[in-house]
Homo-oligomer: A and B are copies of this chain.
Amino acid sequence: MQIALLGGTGDIGEGLALRFAYDTDHDVLIGSRDASRAETKAREYETELDSRGLTVDVAGHDNADAAAAADVVVLAVPAYHLADTVEAIAADIDADTVLVTPAVGMKRDEDGFHYNRPGAGSVTALAAEAAPEDVPVVGAYHNLSAARLANLDADLGIDTAIVGDDADAVDTVTRLSEEIEGLRAVDAGPLANAAEIEAITPLLINVAKNNDGMHDLGVRFE
């Protein structure tokens, strides 16, 4: 498969790109609003992978070209860029493309981080509203630490809860996710169940902040 990471020059995009390239046989395409920036980052990721004995090509494109070439398109962009990003690639994706949204909206105050639930019900639902009607949308990777993903020496041993209304698309993302070593995909049901998953992300930051020795946390359903 061709996996595009839109916003693949950012933290979570970098982490997912490295893990997909290192742990799976799929092709990884980095997307950015600026194609030359995507190219530069793709070379950096290749260098990091090469230092671990893995010679692979990582492509760099603008978001639309990356999406057009991909079977799975991960929207690794901040929540406030999600709708824009989907609209910018709408003409380049179709019913055979699976859109994956890991974005979470948070706000911060003196107590800690808090889930900032959008009017649509969740950020995942926002992505689904922005997507062309025939393109399946799957929520995944909301609770993964970008730093832990990007450090290929770090064991994962964590879960990602997956939501979606299209069973085939959920199956594709589930199988792809489980190719990442140490990542278990669990099915959390339809897209309407996304908010409770997204809300875990600020909690993980609060727990890391308040407990010595806990950082770059993920979650495990036991």
Contact = CB atoms under 8 A, between A and B. Distances in A.
A214 B186 CA distance: 10
Interface stretch (A71-79, A81-89, A196-204): A196-204
Contacts of A219: 219-222
Interface stretch (A22-30, A41-49, A107-115, A129-137): A107-115
A207 B222 contact: no
A118 interface: no
Given A196-B203, A197-B203, A199-B195, A189 B222 contact: no
A174 to B, nearest CB: 10
Nearest to A210: B187
Interface centre among A111, A196, A207, A220, by most chain B C-beta atoms within 10 angstroms, is: A196
Given A217-B221, A220-B219, A202 B196 contact: yes
A158 interface: yes
Count class of interface residues, chain A: 35 or more
A211 B207 CA distance: 27
Interface string A181-219: 000001111101101110110111011011100100111
6 closest A-B pairs by CB: A111-B192, A196-B203, A187-B210, A220-B220, A199-B199, A111-B190
Interface of A: 109, 111-112, 114-115, 157-158, 161, 186-190, 192-193, 195-197, 199-200, 202-204, 206-207, 209-211, 214, 217-222
Given A189-B210, A200-B203, A217-B222, 17 more contacts: A111-B190, A111-B192, A112-B188, A112-B189, A112-B190, A115-B196, A115-B199, A157-B222, A186-B211, A187-B207, A196-B199, A204-B221, A214-B221, A217-B221, A220-B220, A220-B221, A220-B222
